[in-house]
Structure 1
Amino acid sequence: MFSNEMDSIMRNNMYCNKNQVANRGLFLLFLGMLCGLMWATSAYSAEIQLSGARITNASLATADFNGDGYKEIVAGGSDGMLYVLSTSDGVNWNTVWSHQCNDEIEAAGPPSHKSTNEIYASPAIADLDGDGHLDIVVAMGGNIHVDDDSLRDNGGILVYRYNAAWNFSLIETLSADGSRGWPQPRIDEVGAGSGYSDPDGYWDGIMTTPALGDLDGDGDLEIVVAGIDRRIHAWHHTGEVVDGWPIHRDNGDAITRGGISSPALGDIDRDGQLEVVVATMSPPWDTSQPVTSTNPDYTKGTLWVINGDSTNVPGFPIATEQYFYSSPALGDIDQDGYLEIIIGSGYGLTGRENIVSVYKYDGSLVSNWPQETAGLTMASPALADIDQDGALEIIIGCGSNTDWYACGNNGARLYAWNADGTSVNGFPAAPPTGSDWSDEIFSMAYTPIVADYDGDGNLEILVVQVDAWGITIVETDGSTAGYRHTTYGLEAPPVVDDLDNDGKVEILIGGGDSNAVVDIWDEDGQVQSGGPADWPMDRGNILRTGLSGTVTTLPVPVPPPVPVEGGNIISVFSLLLE
């Protein structure tokens, strides 16, 4: 069909080069244990060993599912395992639920069968339907591995509802005709043949983090993702397709590819409704012209802003120099009352891949943008007022998650810009990895996390470099403040949150070597009351909207009282804890 359809995705597949980190063996294990003792620089809370494969690219999620005042941790593994970790004292953590999400994929009858899968994107959490129970939204399946069937997985979105007593189930099971329930979308459109543009016998994977928001104004939250299946999807919590969606050529939309850039949600045009902002690998296409191997120009990409009814916001989609790996962030950085769209770039055959761009609500570039970096910018930007001047700054690192040296040897940098494109004092910065086995500076391919972790009244930037054994903490003047060390290489951003309800934050991150591990550090930073002050997690908030200033307060379940013998009334959750 279209010979250039998927070549670039295959050429630069999103899996880390395991040859760089495989076979660490006993030497690295010993070294990591030794370094863990040497580098104890904070009140260390917990290292939680999990049963399945390591966590890669998927950041952790946090929420209080049972209403006891302590937040649980949700972690997704590279083998498709989903975990919920809980504590009753803020110190001791237990795995209260672990589940192979591929079971629901298999139950839906995929064209090819596997026993495991992978979770490549960060889970999102919300009470989608307002029933008082929190829901976990998780994306399944990875990239296309046309030359290695063992690395292929069936993709799809799954939504798990917390019922009670650490029992989770699909919020709605798949209907007989497949129009309701989960998983969705169950499409096999690409992965084989010339240009990898023919079906390959597996449902196409979803590598983008789901964004949750009320697209149609009905009070419920919808689920939005971009897929490798040449579509941008939106579903109700029931699994039913939102009217007018997906964005796809069969619906008359000028899209020939999907993407791996996660969507953002925000009111771009100030009409009082959410729009979907998503960057694709799809080139600009005149739909009156036939699609061939050379038309449209597959070296380009497009940035879309889409209304909830699936119509395009005027001025979009816009053509870009190349397609995207970076995901957009939304914030009013120039304080004109409109949200701007801030995004990095991706690998490309032509055009600049070392740029960060800022777009207005009408699709035009903001003055003095784009700004160039030392290399590829596949990370998603963070937005925060790091210099306390009352305006948001843009923070992003350069590099690739498949190449330590994508910005050159020791060339990776952490950037922070003002709205006018000038650098914040002290940036670009060159934070070291903090790894005892290397003093080099590796690619910074994951979104920076911004929070006042130490309670000094200033924000800090938490950076993960690809396969570094820990988190580097950078002050807002570009200097290095310290590290939070692990005994394994990291491939996902951390989270800053108050897990134990003591008014102070913890830093937590998932990773591992042969098995998944979650690390937690107690810190002294005070919990912020709200406002666009920080960027504490992947995509900025637990709804994963990429919108600055989103203060997400999930509803806290009220444990229902139940009668027990003798006429006493006690909490079902207290009963279970006893």
Structure 2
Amino acid sequence: MHHQCFPRLFACFSFLLLAMPGNLPAQVEAPVLKWQHGGCYSSWCETGWYSSPAVTDLDNDGEMEVVAATYSVFILNGEDGELIKSIDPPGGRVWPDVVLADLDADGDLEIVTAHGSGYLNVYDHTGTILWSKNPVTSELRGLSVSDLDNDSTLEIIVTGAVYSKTNTWVYEHDGTLRTGWPQLSNDLGYAYGTFNDTAAVGDIDNDGESEVIVPSDVHYICAYYPDGSPIWADAIYGDRAWGKVGVWESLIPELRGWGSCDGDRVESYRANFAHGAGAIADMNRDGQPEIIVTGNVYDCSTASYESRYTGLYIFDADRSRFKGATFNWEEAPVDTGAPLVEDYSMIESAIPNPAVADLDGDGLPETLFSSYDGRLHAFWLDKTEHGNWPYSVYNAPEGVFRFASEPVIADLDNNGTAEVIFTSWVQKGSSLTGKLHILDYQGNPLYEPNLPGPFGSADWNGSLAAPTIANIDSDDDFEIVVNTAHSGVVAFDLPGSSLARILWGTGRGSYHRNGVPYHDLSRCPADISGDGQVASADLAIFAAAFGKAKCSGADCPADIDTDTDVDAVDLSHMAAGLGQRNCL
């Protein structure tokens, strides 16, 4: 938006309503490498793990910064990737995504990271450490923030790769351990270590407060209220909390409460959630959120608990399996793909973090996840994969294993259907590199450029972490920011993407990293595209919807005042919000 529009803002909006319909013909253009080696030293880079970067204007100077973590935490200039600040916090490597959030509601963002030797670190917007906690000596692999009790300040939730049932800690914004935590601390469930960023945190019962869902290294999923007390399961499971209802392939042993593990498939296939992760979304748009979880289905009759496939489950708030008038997930999809390899000395592990977004524009979300079968999966609510899904990054004749990252999802050309963006990595010792992948909503590849090769002595490269879509420079187009394994932080331009709609734009859905796509509509009500700023993408969506009547929710994101009409009042909200940033 050019500045000459501001003196006659409403005249400009009138022009935009005529000239910028959201369904103009468009085409996704090829990504262009913008910069690389962000945060690297003169001849090598710290290893990047599964930590998705974040983008914001930390100092409110109108320029965007990239915040990424490996072992150090780096603040980079979005325009060129130049280092602004390097922080060497206590704790070692960073597995989970970087959190950006205004924890204490003072108007300034904080940075939060969790580390390998059990340290949780919180920094102010300048990168200065405010406080550190060390709840456990094991690695903290899960990190998210949420306003659990609806008091306008955010709580910090961390989970650990521990060898005990106590795996989840919740801290207040000032570092005080929240009353009722850590959990699990009683016999109302079964839990063990979380070996990925598995927790999902959100309001699953529409009471205005957030619940904490924690899959872990057992075939159970624990669920807690904000005070740490357990959430009870539906009476069909007897008098039991979520954490005492096992997840089996078949409902028969699940309802009974046990399986015999005797070699019969019904009695022997169950899910483990060491790497399985959760998400929260309203899958059938009835106003009631569901809980989506991936897990490793294994045969408990085998001595080594042999893995069979990655399972996908959808639960209601009472732990019953999701069932609606049209869709029935009481029986989940089976045999999605056997593992290629489960040896991280050969290739780093595939992590099945679910991403939830409407790919085809029908108003209902699909669920995507990568798997150890070398493919990225996309399931519709009919429990099938449409089009060219699943999409394989592994090509057997190449003779090298490849895995895919958690995807991000955006309608890059604003044509009503989404593109899926993810990265891949390769087998160690292969001297090869992974790719940046952009697919259409049917799973057809559009562009797959190689990521840069390793910088230094490493013998492979790629990116294990979900990329982040954000506008990191002074133009109107979006960029893709990638935290690679051995070439530092890398950025790609996305030409022609100024009108993109961001649906799942970074690891775990938002910079709160809680498995819920989020942008702060109370702070930026005109950010209807969900990209964290009020700019041309929002104008395009608004222009296409202006005049719409009797609409609501996902069908009417441009209804800013939620009165079911997109009218002059919404136009005034759009005018007031134009230029706002840092809404994520």
Matched residue, 1:371? 333
> Is the counterpart of residue 537 in structure 1 residue 510 in structure 2?
no
Q: Deviations over 1:214-269 (max 9, x none)?
A: 112222100012112332110012111111111133x5653452312431111111
- Structure 2 residue 62 is matched with structure 1 residue 69: yes
Change (3 A) 1:122 1:554: farther
Where does residue 417 of structure 1 map in the other structure? 379
- The number of residues matched between the two structures is 421
1:424: Cα distance to partner? Answer: 2.6
RMSD over aligned CA atoms reads 2.8
Distance apart, 1:544 and its partner CA? 0.7
Alignment correspondent of 1:46: 35
What is the aligned partner in structure 1 of residue 516 from structure 2?
Answer: 547
Residue pairs, 1:320-331, within 5 angstroms: 320=247, 321-324=270-273, 325-331=275-281
- Of the three residues 97, 100, 104, the one matched with 1:129 is 104
SS in 2 for 1:322: strand
Offset at 1:464? 2.1
Note if 1:60 corresponds to 2:53.
yes
Q: Distance in 2 between matches of 1:484 and 1:326?
A: 29
Counterpart CA distance in 2 for 1:161 and 1:512 is: 26
Conservation of the 8 A alpha-carbon contact between 1:455 and 1:526: no
Correspondence 1:520 to 2:466? no
Q: Which residue in 2 is equivalent to 1:248?
A: 184
Q: 1:347, CA displacement in angstroms? A: 7.2
Structure 1: which 5+ runs fail to align? 1-39, 106-116, 142-153, 173-181, 188-202, 282-299, 400-406, 558-578
Matches within 5 A, 1:347-366: 348=298, 349=305, 352-366=308-322
1:274 aligns with 210
Structure 2: unaligned runs, 5 residues or longer: 1-28, 234-241, 248-269, 299-304, 323-327, 340-349, 427-432, 454-460, 525-531, 534-584
When residues 339 and 171 of structure 1 are mapped into structure 2, their CA distance, relative to the original with a 3 A threshold, is same
**Are 2:47 and 1:84 aligned?**
no
- Paired residue for 2:468? 495
Answer whether contact 2:469 2:506 (CA < 8 A) is retained: yes
Which of 229, 246, 268 is the equivalent residue of 1:319?
A: 246
Whether the aligned pair in 1 keeps the contact of 2:159 and 2:194 (CA below 8 Å) is yes
Correspondence 1:37-436 to 2 at 5 A? 41-49=30-38, 50-51=40-41, 52-77=45-70, 80-87=71-78, 90=79, 92-102=80-90, 105=91, 117-141=92-116, 154-162=117-125, 167-172=126-131, 182-185=132-135, 187=136, 203-208=137-142, 210-229=143-162, 230-249=166-185, 254-262=189-197, 263-281=199-217, 300-315=218-233, 316-317=242-243, 318-320=245-247, 321-324=270-273, 325-346=275-296, 348=298, 349=305, 352-366=308-322, 367-368=328-329, 369-372=331-334, 373-375=336-338, 378-399=351-372, 407=373, 412-431=374-393
**Letter aligned with residue 511 of structure 1:** T
Structure 1 distance, partners of 2:47, 2:351, is 22
Task: Provide the rounded CA distance (Å) in 1 between the counterparts of 2:106 and 2:415.
Answer: 40
How far off is 1:549 after superposition? 5.4
Query: Do 1:56 and 1:492's aligned partners in 2 also have CA atoms closer than 8 Å?
Result: yes
State the AA in 1 paired with 2:93: E
Q: 1:227 to 1:431 in 2, by over 3 A?
A: closer
* Residues 507, 522 of structure 1: 8 Å contact kept: yes
Assess if the C-alpha contact under 8 Å between 1:59 and 1:510 holds in 2: yes
Mapped to 1, the partners of 2:307 and 2:398 lie a distance apart of 33
Are 2:477 and 2:493, in contact at CA under 8 Å, matched by a contact in 1?
Answer: no
Aligned-partner SS, 1:539 = helix
Query: 1 CA distance for matches of 2:359 and 2:201?
Result: 23
Letter in 2 for 1:257: Y
Instruction: Assess if the C-alpha contact under 8 Å between 2:93 and 2:115 holds in 1.
Output: yes
Aligned pairs (5 A) from 1:27-38: none
1:443-477 alpha-carbon deviations (Å, 9 max, x no partner): 33x21111133555531111323334221111112
CA distance in 2, matches of 1:441, 1:457: 34
Matched to 1:371, the amino acid is P
Report the Cα offset of residue 132 of structure 1: 2.4
Q: Equivalents in 1 of 2:222, 2:196: separation in Å? A: 11
Query: For residues 59-91 of structure 1, what are the alpha-carbon distances to aligned partners after superposition, in whole Å with 9 as ceiling and x for unaligned?
Result: 1111110112222111111xx21100024xx3x
- For residues 135 and 554 of structure 1, the distance between their equivalents in structure 2, rounded to whole angstroms, comes to 16
Q: CA deviation at 1:304?
A: 1.9
Change (3 A) 1:418 1:54: same
Distance change >3 Å, CA 547–CA 308, structure 1 → 2: same
Structure 2 CA distance for partners of 1:253 and 1:232, relative to 1, 3 Å? farther
Amino acid at match of 1:415: H
Which amino acid in structure 2 is aligned with residue 542 of structure 1?
Y
Is the Cα–Cα contact under 8 Å of residues 308 and 338 in structure 2 kept in the other structure? no
Deviation at residue 528 of structure 1 after TM alignment: 5.0
Give how far 1:481 is off: 0.5
Name the CA shift for 1:266/1:419 in 2 (closer, same or farther; >3 Å): same
Counterparts of 1:70 and 1:553, CA distance in 2 = 23
Residues 462/545 of structure 1: CA separation in 2 closer, same or farther (3 Å cut):
same
Amino acid at match of 1:363: R
Given that 2:352 and 2:369 are in contact with CA atoms closer than 8 Å, whether structure 1 keeps it comes out as yes
Cα gap change, 1:432 to 1:501, in 2 (>3 Å): farther
Q: Distance in 1 between matches of 2:158 and 2:499?
A: 30
Q: 1:432, 1:441 within 8 Å by CA — same for their partners in 2? A: yes
Q: Secondary structure at 2:127's aligned position in 1?
A: strand
- For residues 216 and 427 of structure 1, the distance between their equivalents in structure 2, rounded to whole angstroms, comes to 40
| Contact residue 382 and residue 540 of structure 1 kept, 8 A | yes
Aligned partner of 1:443 in structure 2 is: 403
Deviation track 1:277-319 (CA, whole Å, cap 9, x = no partner) reads: 11111xxxxxxxxxxxxxxxxxx42112211011122211232
In structure 1, the residue corresponding to 2:313 is in which secondary structure?
A: strand
Give the Cα–Cα distance (whole angstroms) in 1 for the partners of residues 351 and 375 of structure 2. 13
Pair 494,383 (structure 1): closer, same or farther in 2 beyond 3 Å: same
Distance in 1 of aligned mates of 2:144 and 2:159: 10
Paired letter, 2:101:
A
Kindly provide the amino acid, as one letter, of the partner of residue 260 in structure 1: F
Compute the displacement of 1:415 (Å): 2.0
Residue type at the aligned position of 2:133: P
Residue 423 of structure 2: aligned partner: 464
Change (3 A) 1:44 1:454: farther
The range that moved more, 480-489 or 119-128, is 480-489
CA deviation vs aligned residue, 1:318-349 (integer Å, no higher than 9, x gap): 32223211211111112232111112113752
Deviation at 1:501, TM superposition (A): 5.1
Tell me how far apart the structure 1 counterparts of residues 402 and 180 of structure 2 sit (CA, whole Å). Answer: 43
Residues 65 and 545 (structure 1), Cα distance of their counterparts in 2 relative to 1, 3 Å cut? same
Query: Residues 63 and 554 of structure 1 are in contact (CA less than 8 Å); yes or no, is this contact kept in structure 2?
Result: no
Q: Give TM-score, length-normalised by structure 1.
A: 0.67
Q: Give the conservation status (yes or no) of the 8 Å contact 2:414–2:500.
A: no
Contact 1:507/1:523, CA 8 A, preserved across alignment: no
